[in-house]
Amino acid sequence: MDFTLSEDQQSLVDVLARFSRERYGIAKRTAAAGAESGHDVATWAQLAELGVIGMLFSSEVGGYGGNAFDIMAVFETLGHGLVGEPVLPALLAGTVLAAAGSDALDRLIDGSDIAVSAFYEPTSRYDLDRVATTATEQSQDWKIDGAKAVVHHAEAAQTLIVTAREANGTVSVFAVPAAASGVTMRGYVTNDGIRAAEVKLEGVIVPKAAKLGGVALARDAVDAGTLAICAEALGLMTWLKDATLEYLRTRIQFGKPIGNNQVLQHRMADIVVEMEQARSAVINAAAAMDGPADARALALSAAKYTIGTTATMVAEEAIQMHGGIGMTEELGLSHFAKRALMIDHQFGDSDHHLRRYITLSAA
Amino acid sequence: MDLSYTPEETQFRDEVRAFLDEALPQRLSDKVRDGSTLSKAEVEEWQAILSARGWLATHWPREYGGTGWNVVERFIFDVESSRANAPSIIPFGLSMLAPVLIKFGSDAQKERWLPRMLDGEDWWCQGYSEPGAGSDLANVRTTAVRDGDHYVVNGQKTWTTMAQHANMIFCLVRTDSSGKPQEGISFLLVDMTSPGVEVRPIITLDGDHEVNEVFFKDVRVPVENLVGEEGLGWTYAKYLLTYERTTMAGIGASRAALERLREIAQAEQSDGKPLIEDLLFAMRVARADIALKNLETTTMRVVAATAQGGSTGAQSSILKIKGTELRQEISALTRRAVGAYAQPFLPEREGANEAPVGPDYAVAATPTYLNLRKLSIYGGSNEIQKNIMTKAILGL
Ligand SMILES: Cc1cc2nc3c(=O)[nH]c(=O)nc-3n(C[C@H](O)[C@H](O)[C@H](O)COP(=O)(O)OP(=O)(O)OC[C@H]3O[C@@H](n4cnc5c(N)ncnc54)[C@H](O)[C@@H]3O)c2cc1C
């Protein structure tokens, strides 16, 4: 067994961590979410240049990484820097494009284009198969109608990767240019300071070649995304834990640091215990990514369930142990905490994954 | 033992219900139900309606214009008001300062300030906490130095809820720093329109402006605004805090939030059926429901002891801890219930009535959850409540 990062992974992690420490920050992230594009164009270009996106894909498709531990390393580091750029949607979209053998992936990897996944719908909750969007095959092309919910970074994207149901009932995956006629968006900022949009597709015409494959493509993409977001949470939690520890050492009440109170010491110890468990869950999931589909799904649900409960606990405890100051928008802590909390609302919450785990382990 | 309401109590409950039915404008109850922030004018509107009915000062004896209700009646009123989604009464003047004035204030102070609370002429805020004095409240540094007929106040308060609406603030100030920290504290009423008072907003993590910093620079306060005796402010402050905590169980608010949660979980679909039929989710709701029913009786037991002349004392910590945990849990379940639509953040802009992006019940789920993190922090944090309990109840 070897739990260390490879040389490539370690050097990217170092560079990315330095970048987010020195050249990124909450001010930039917040400003970007309020802007029309919803992200920071310069930062995105720099991330691409650093190789962050390339690390997510294998050399066969034009990247230089692409294994589960590469994804884990990148996203943990992004989480620790609270990077709000569209790397996660790019991972999902790119995973579909790679599997479909699309050459659009090159432009995603080099940072010149942004592609995002748009799978979930206003009433689908966390179920990928509950697709009401339709794809009607016409003589020359496809016509797509429907709506997609809470699509992160949709406004920044040139390409939307959407799921839609064909007349025969099967769900397929399509690449839709964001600029296509009939695509409209209502953008907003999320509670955790990321740009997202509700996307409407009304009579959107795309060529025959826009169909990339079946719903399995979307499922694989969500698997990669689930692993990534779990790793992101590890980075967020590490930051939250360190900030809280620092606060316990420096905040004086009753003439001594609040960290002298044994009750708070034990609460920190609990956090460390649960975080180590969470890391193991993510490692289990990463190790299962290339294995059989059932084992992979089981490990991913175990990880997402563990992350959902642990990240919520760490966020709540970090705020509580900071007292009033932990509740302010001004303190970086609240931004990390909100991201950690909202992770439970992407790709299924802890109940969703616990239920899936039960079903899968009964099978 | 008898847990049921007496015929008089049932009649009282019906009377409260009928009043709320008739007097509470739906405009306001809709906003409360949806978790929107009420404007100053809206809060004042509801308080004026209650005042006209004689039901604004639920804690006060009749002689001062209060309801003279006993604890059971107060409890019924609280639960019914929350059920009807009535705006909550701003507690700082009516429920916090008033009991202190009634017990420790001079006749002149009672005559001056109590009627103005009933008329809505003053909006009070609570100036206890400071940057260095949170849990360790006795560490207040804001000073008041006697100068003829005035005190001259210098220093800073923080986390002051709704100071932006207030014209009056009651403060703990240091009048003596020679002895033990608790000994040199005085209780002072400060007119916020005085020269030298500055209020700066603090935005909380839910994007709301609810708390503020309040700065005092050479603010002159007439000596008649000192409550009780100089140096006894700590005693008054503690009296006020036990008062504050008894009302903090928030039974009515939890009950209303739980009912709302059930509606939402009925409307949300999970796996092709209403979310409320999902066993995992139903278990969570049931646990909260059970805890709430237990807490109702715990509250009534604590409250009944007070009615019979016992002091709530450290028992109020039990209500504060459990009540706040429960409200937080219900808000977390509501966030969970709305699924992915817990994510969009839609700031409420005055006038701009944007349609929500998801279901309308989802809009406030996350901001409310985030805002209610405060419940376990303020009013004496839940850790501090447990410290109180270990000493006062357990003798450890
Ligand atoms: C939304 C909001 C509104 C508020 N409104 C008002 C208001 O209107 N007026 C007002 O005066 N104040 C108000 N407060 C302030 C509130 O009373 C304080 O935040 C509270 O007393 C805690 O103080 P602190 O924030 O300085 O945290 P700290 O005292 O620094 O505590 C930080 C953490 O350490 C823990 N801790 C501290 N000491 C101990 C100990 N001995 N043992 C174990 N744990 C300990 C605390 O429980 C907490 O978890 C408000 C606060 C909030 C968040």
Q: Could you tell me if residue B139 is inside a domain?
A: yes
pLDDT in tens, A143-165: 999 999 999 999 999 999 999 99
Both B31 and B56 in one domain: the answer is yes
Q: How many domains does chain B have?
A: 3
Q: Could you tell me if residue B108 is inside a domain?
A: no
Residue A73 sits at φ, ψ, to 5 deg, of -65, -45
Q: What is the pLDDT of residue B35?
A: 86
pLDDT in tens, A315-362: 999 999 999 999 999 999 999 999 999 999 999 999 999 999 999 999
Work out the average pLDDT over B349-368: 81
| DSSP-based three-state secondary structure for A2 | coil
A-chain residues near B346 (CB < 8 A): 188
- d(CA B14, ligand 1 centre) in Å: 39
Q: Has residue B303 got a pLDDT over 80?
A: no
Lowest mean pLDDT among B60-69, B70-79, B125-134, B169-178: B70-79
Does B124 contact ligand 1 (Cβ within 6 A)? no
Q: Has residue B352 got a pLDDT over 70?
A: no
How many residues are recorded in chain B?
396
Whether residues A351 and B345 touch (CB distance < 8 A) is answered with no
Residue B141: which CATH number?
Answer: 2.40.110.10
Q: What is the pLDDT of residue B248?
A: 67
* Closest chain B residue by Cα to residue A195: B344
Work out the average pLDDT over B101-118: 97
Q: What is the pLDDT of residue B301?
A: 86
Does B203 contact ligand 1 (Cβ within 6 A)? no
Both B198 and B167 in one domain: the answer is yes
Mean pLDDT for all residues in chain B: 93
Q: What is the pLDDT of residue B243?
A: 67
Task: Kindly provide the residue ranges of all beta strands, DSSP E only, lying in A138-182, ordered along the sequence.
Answer: 141-152, 159-166, 171-177
Domain that holds residue B357: 246-392
**By C-alpha distance, which of A107, A76, A71 is closest to A91?**
A71
Q: Has residue B131 got a pLDDT over 80?
A: yes
Answer positive or negative: Cα dihedral of B81, B82, B88, B94. Answer: positive
**Cα(A360)–Cα(A301) distance, rounded to whole angstroms?**
9
Return the C-alpha torsion angle B313, B315, B317, B323, nearest 10. -130
Q: Could you tell me if residue B114 is inside a domain?
A: no
Work out the average pLDDT over B75-84: 92
pLDDT in tens, B200-210: 999 999 999 99
Both B258 and B378 in one domain: the answer is yes
- List the structure tokens of B167: 């014209």
pLDDT in tens, A204-226: 999 999 999 999 999 999 999 99
For B:352-391, CB contacts with A below 8 A are 357-358, 366-367, 370, 373-374, 376-378, 381-383, 386
For B:246-275, CB contacts with A below 8 A are 268-271
Task: Please give the interface size between A and B, counted as residue pairs whose CB atoms are below 8 Å apart.
Answer: 118
**By C-alpha distance, which of A184, A194, A220 is closest to A347?**
A220
Does B374 contact ligand 1 (Cβ within 6 A)? yes
Both B214 and B349 in one domain: the answer is no
Work out the average pLDDT over B172-198: 96
Q: Are B382 and B325 in contact (CB under 8 A)?
A: yes
Q: Does B141 touch chain A (CB under 8 A)?
A: no
Q: Has residue A363 got a pLDDT over 90?
A: no
Q: Could you tell me if residue B170 is inside a domain?
A: yes
Confidence category of residue A36, pLDDT binned at 50, 70, 90: confident
Whether domain A216-362 has CATH 3.40.50.1440:
no
Q: Does B182 touch chain A (CB under 8 A)?
A: no
Residue B307: which CATH number?
Answer: 1.20.140.10
Domain at A7-114: CATH code = 1.10.540.10
**By C-alpha distance, which of A134, A71, A137 is closest to A98?**
A71
Q: What is the pLDDT of residue B246?
A: 62
A-chain residues near B284 (CB < 8 A): 351
Q: Are B201 and B164 in contact (CB under 8 A)?
A: yes
Residue B12: which CATH number?
Answer: 1.10.540.10
**Cα(A354)–Cα(B283) distance, rounded to whole angstroms?**
13
What share of chain A in percent tops pLDDT 90? Answer: 96
Lowest mean pLDDT among B47-61, B80-94, B243-257, B280-294: B243-257
Confidence category of residue B238, pLDDT binned at 50, 70, 90: confident
Q: What is the pLDDT of residue B240?
A: 82
Q: What is the pLDDT of residue B309?
A: 62
Does A263 contact ligand 1 (Cβ within 6 A)? yes
Which amino acids of B are annotated catalytic? 244
Domain boundaries, chain A: 7-114, 117-214, 216-362
Both B228 and B259 in one domain: the answer is no
**Cα(B213)–Cα(B7) distance, rounded to whole angstroms?**
48
Q: Does B307 touch chain A (CB under 8 A)?
A: no
Query: How far is C-alpha A216 from the geometric centre of its chain's CA atoms?
Result: 19
**By C-alpha distance, which of A164, A155, A175, A211 is closest to A32?**
A155
Work out the average pLDDT over B197-222: 97
Q: Has residue B349 got a pLDDT over 90?
A: no
Work out the average pLDDT over B160-180: 96
Q: Could you tell me if residue B13 is inside a domain?
A: yes
Q: Are A29 and A83 in contact (CB under 8 A)?
A: yes
Q: Has residue B347 got a pLDDT over 80?
A: no
What share of chain A in percent tops pLDDT 70? Answer: 100
Q: What is the pLDDT of residue B70?
A: 86
* Smallest Cα distance from A62 to chain B, Å: 33
pLDDT in tens, A73-82: 999 999 999 9
Q: Has residue B351 got a pLDDT over 60?
A: no
Whether residues B377 and A149 touch (CB distance < 8 A) is answered with no
Q: What is the pLDDT of residue B12?
A: 97
One-letter amino acid of A294:
D
Both B255 and B179 in one domain: the answer is no
Q: What is the pLDDT of residue B71?
A: 81
Mean pLDDT for all residues in chain A: 96
* CA–CA–CA angle A342, B271, A228 (5° rounding): 35
What share of chain B in percent tops pLDDT 90? Answer: 82
Confidence category of residue B307, pLDDT binned at 50, 70, 90: low
Return the C-alpha torsion angle A120, A121, A126, A128, nearest 10. -60
Fold of A117-214: Butyryl-CoA Dehydrogenase, subunit A; domain 2 (2.40.110)
Looking only at the bridges linking them, the beta strands covering A183-190 and A115-118 are: unpaired
